[in-house]
Chains A and B, each alone.
Chain A
């Protein structure tokens, strides 16, 4: 215990992949929180795989109405060639559900990419510079917040698609309308963090040195302000799916000939429900519920794990490590205290 001081201060190095955002939290979690996180990750993983391999997984195309044997026929019950039946329009339900995952993923990616950069940039600038710019941006963000988001999304969808609807314009209209709603969210979170970080001593010490505002924002504020983003990201992704489905359900989504879309299918199956045709609504509906549930589980677990007060830990067992090994005293054990200069890390 005589020469441990400088070595014992630094924690053991952890492999790089174990420090990745989600992997780190997964290793950190225990009990119910771990169960929630794993369940969420499995659902999200399945969703991603299905989206990526849709062309191979789906038995038919999303807009396919007939094969070599002729038309599929409308509202066929599950079984036979169509495991989950067909819709009122004559599409294969299973194929539509699988292809729908792809559309949903594209919308999430486009929406988040569009909103995250603008939101973060505006948040950092507004929070750091402050003054009238900050006030104006906050008022605008609040106004967008106060506006019913779905209504805004509908207006954006109409403007962008201009009444036409193909895959990309559909995806973009959904994504952009979601973006409009999301930017204020990212903006607010990042701005709040920036305002907090702005008064931290390390930003002041950068100022005292004469660092330019741009450098302070990019080097000191930005990276520290974005630590809570994985949480908002997962929570927003689930909201993106909701908005897309709602748009489709209201009839502002993507035409069935351009892409598969769960909300659209739900809308078309409305009349089926009362006539006992359950398969056209249950499957796209549960797809939406499952994916949103998975994303929310991941997001909420990450949120809980990020807060040391909410994080559950394994109870310490009866025989813990000796105190001296893990002490937080600047220095080490009594033995090495014999030479305080040594404790302080002098070579």
Chain B
């Protein structure tokens, strides 16, 4: 095997408004032809910066030292002209968000041909033929026709296939894939991972895979480099790294990944300890329909279509589904942010369909809401204490922020934040700390129902594990009912008493964790489960076969 990328002692420093930040500090890595090297790390570990250096894509504020040999060229030293020649032919990139990586005003065929024309003479006809060929190879159906389609005419997964086609068309030796599946649903993710595997096997390309998802690593990688704070802390081949992590941080990281099935024992123990009162449900949805109004003359979009479920007092219902399945819409409707348009939705004994804000307002003190993105769910100009005190002030439980402070301190302690954090501004907290503060705010009025909309999906795994643990503890102590919305089955499995699976606005399966995850009935649930990569290369290889069989059966 020959070495295609050789990084020696790479250091990257960014100039900022404050002191310069060293993002990458003395990294040495190499990539062999035809292998997949995964660079794993949490946000801020320098993995993306390392990968971008291979293409010379760093912004002008970066200062690079060290050597990045790509074939016979040192990317750090070469001229802009030479760099342009290398890009595309020697190294190509697959971006995280396929919908922003494609230009919306050109056809995909044109965009593929543009890469070709930049590196040699192609007639229009030849470039088009080549584009059709490559689109067929990455699994776009009817490529001869779809080469003239615009990006918006493709689904998210297909767009990512087109981006991969653009990267493959010049047959580069190395493809850098920066979180190529993070923006995609689990079932689509499995397909893209299959395609990337084929890039390696059929096209012989080496792949540098940047990801934070250990399941993806287990599925695809041959070798793994774990990065932390700008340095590589461990590097090993995939099987031995997962079986036998040596560095403390790697062990922590692997230990934090939620795994399917671990929640079962917990849930059973919880159910035994606390018999759920069946008689007065907090939320009852009966054939609930939620439509978004369409534009003039067009029919509206039906986000939720005839969904029925119940949440009993003190129970945690996990709502799982992919993007567009209507799970967030249901949560927002219960929280009174979106209107129900059909069927019936009773929240705390009040019919939500056609309810007026004035009638609903008293109920709001009984409902807590935790939002997905901790970065934007706090007013940047209020301190944490002011933000947590807001609900108390609004419902006249306290006269001003100072009067509310004792209760705020109590809440901050309940979510395990030091009192002093109350005087900080949101940007001075990390993501996990902010999400704890968000939890504190939602619990300020002692709600009987808590709606958590993907509360951990913006967090790193080690932080996610802590927040989930905290959530479980608080739920056990305070006994509120909760609707926990997530796209991640493993997360829901950890803390939900019952799981409901949504698919395209319809509820396809509902039951306890053991029922839904242990013996899924609906084919969609089966596929969803099989698509979820587990952080264990050996087991994942078996699961891949199961998924393939499942897909062929359909």
The answer to whether A273 has its CB under 8 Å from any CB of chain B is no
Kindly report which residue of chain A lies nearest to residue B362, judged by CB atoms: A210
The answer to whether B240 has its CB under 8 Å from any CB of chain A is no
The answer to whether A28 has its CB under 8 Å from any CB of chain B is yes
Kindly report which residue of chain B lies nearest to residue A311, judged by CB atoms: B17
Stretch at the interface among B192-200, B294-302, B422-430, B534-542: B422-430
- Report which of A318, A321, A341 forms a contact with B466, defined as CB distance below 8 A: A341
- List of B residues within 8 angstroms of A344 by Cβ: 416, 430, 432-433, 436, 463, 466
The answer to whether A3 has its CB under 8 Å from any CB of chain B is no
Given A210-B395, A215-B394, A323-B230, the answer on whether A202 and B376 have CB atoms closer than 8 Å is yes
Instruction: Find out whether the CB atom of B229 lies under 8 angstroms from the CB atom of A206.
Output: no
The answer to whether A148 has its CB under 8 Å from any CB of chain B is no
Given A323-B22, A324-B229, the answer on whether A330 and B391 have CB atoms closer than 8 Å is no
The answer to whether B107 has its CB under 8 Å from any CB of chain A is no
The answer to whether A320 has its CB under 8 Å from any CB of chain B is yes
Instruction: Find out whether the CB atom of A334 lies under 8 angstroms from the CB atom of B228.
Output: yes
The answer to whether A15 has its CB under 8 Å from any CB of chain B is no
Q: Which interface class (under 10, 10 to 19, 20 to 34, 35 or more) fits A?
A: 35 or more
Identify the interface centre among B13, B367, B429: most chain A CB within 10 Å of its CB: B13
- List of A residues within 8 angstroms of B373 by Cβ: 201
The answer to whether B42 has its CB under 8 Å from any CB of chain A is yes
Chain B nearest CB, measured from A347 CB (Å):
5
Chain B nearest CB, measured from A2 CB (Å):
14
- List of A residues within 8 angstroms of B369 by Cβ: 204-205, 208-209
Docked Cα-Cα span, A345 to B429, in Å, equals 9
- List of B residues within 8 angstroms of A208 by Cβ: 335-337, 364, 367, 369
Instruction: Find out whether the CB atom of A204 lies under 8 angstroms from the CB atom of B371.
Output: yes
Kindly report which residue of chain A lies nearest to residue B26, judged by CB atoms: A323
Docked Cα-Cα span, A271 to B395, in Å, equals 71
Instruction: Find out whether the CB atom of A206 lies under 8 angstroms from the CB atom of B42.
Output: no
The answer to whether B249 has its CB under 8 Å from any CB of chain A is yes
- List of B residues within 8 angstroms of A20 by Cβ: none
The answer to whether B380 has its CB under 8 Å from any CB of chain A is yes
- Report which of A9, A201, A224, A333 forms a contact with B229, defined as CB distance below 8 A: A333
Instruction: Find out whether the CB atom of A320 lies under 8 angstroms from the CB atom of B19.
Output: yes
Interface flags for B334-357 (1: CB within 8 Å of A; 0: not) read 011100000000000000000000
**CB neighbors of A among B373-388 (8 A):** 373, 376-382, 387
- List of B residues within 8 angstroms of A331 by Cβ: 430, 462
Given A209-B364, A337-B252, A344-B466, the answer on whether A314 and B428 have CB atoms closer than 8 Å is no
- List of B residues within 8 angstroms of A327 by Cβ: 44, 229-230
- Report which of B362, B376, B417, B460 forms a contact with A330, defined as CB distance below 8 A: B460
Docked Cα-Cα span, A209 to B433, in Å, equals 21
Chain A nearest CB, measured from B205 CB (Å):
31
The answer to whether B14 has its CB under 8 Å from any CB of chain A is yes
Interface flags for B418-458 (1: CB within 8 Å of A; 0: not) read 10010010001111110010100100010000000000000
- List of A residues within 8 angstroms of B486 by Cβ: none
Instruction: Find out whether the CB atom of A320 lies under 8 angstroms from the CB atom of B21.
Output: yes
- Report which of A223, A311, A323 forms a contact with B21, defined as CB distance below 8 A: A323
Chain A nearest CB, measured from B273 CB (Å):
24
Interface flags for B111-154 (1: CB within 8 Å of A; 0: not) read 00000000000000000000000000000000000000000000
Docked Cα-Cα span, A314 to B431, in Å, equals 29
Interface set of A (CB-CB < 8 Å, partner B): 6, 9-11, 28, 200-202, 204-212, 215, 219-220, 223-224, 311, 313-318, 320-331, 333-334, 337-338, 340-341, 344-347
Closest 6 CB pairs of A and B: A210-B364, A330-B430, A316-B20, A201-B377, A320-B20, A328-B44
Interface set of B (CB-CB < 8 Å, partner A): 13-23, 25, 42-46, 61-63, 228-231, 233, 248-249, 252, 256, 335-337, 361-362, 364-365, 367, 369, 371-373, 376-382, 387, 390-391, 394-395, 416-418, 421, 424, 428-433, 436, 438, 441, 445, 459-460, 462-463, 465-466
What 18 new A-B contacts, CB under 8 Å, besides A321-B20, A327-B229, A340-B256? A6-B418, A11-B18, A200-B376, A201-B372, A205-B369, A207-B336, A208-B367, A316-B62, A317-B20, A321-B22, A323-B46, A323-B230, A323-B231, A327-B230, A330-B430, A334-B228, A344-B416, A345-B433
Can you list 15 residue pairs at the A/B interface with Cβ under 8 Å? Answer: A201-B372, A208-B364, A224-B379, A316-B15, A321-B20, A322-B25, A323-B25, A330-B43, A330-B430, A330-B433, A334-B233, A338-B248, A340-B465, A344-B432, A346-B418
